[in-house]
Amino acid sequence: MRVYITSVFVDDQTKAKKFYTEILGFRIKQDVPVGPYSWLTLVAPDDETGPELLLEPAAHRAVGPYREALKADGIPVTSFAVDDVQAEYERLTGWGVEFTQGPTETGPVTVATFDDTCGNLIQISSYKG
């Protein structure tokens, strides 16, 4: 068993597509219109056959309370691996990305958390080693 697709609920798919591709660097794998939304998946630029991230519309009534509770408690909805958290933190802050937690060592992992501008907190992490 392996991860094929995982979802991140977003307020606005167009805004999210721009942020996740132009700022974070993901590549579009699928962008298929489905009614008022799209089946919009992204992949890492160095792993185009790897797991896909679905930018899913946050239209379902359960999504709002779920995301609000996570954000209020400072809990990221997902975590993305990076080679160097400090370098990625500096790159993203240069683009105006707002972090709720700067680079922090937590045992063998360094993490940082930012606001994706689409209703979520996202964590980046890298293992020491």
Nearest residue to 17 via CA among 93, 124, 118, 121: 118
- How many structural domains is the chain composed of? 1
pLDDT lower than 50: segments of the chain:
none
Residue 35 has which token pair? 């009614």
pLDDT at site 128: 84
Nearest residue to 91 via CA among 22, 4, 28, 30: 22
Residues 6 or more apart whose Cβ sits within 8 Å of residue 8: 16, 53, 54, 55, 56, 77, 78, 116, 118, 120, 122
Q: Could you give the 3-state DSSP secondary structure of residue 104?
A: strand
Angle among Cα 49, 60, 114 to the nearest 5 degrees reads: 60
Mean pLDDT of the chain: 96
pLDDT at site 3: 93
Domain hosting 66: range is 5-127
Give the predicted TM-score (pTM) of the model.
0.94
* Chain segment 30-56, per-residue pLDDT in tens: 999 999 999 999 999 999 999 999 999
- Helix (H) or strand (E) segment spanning residue 44: none
Domain CATH for 12: 3.10.180.10
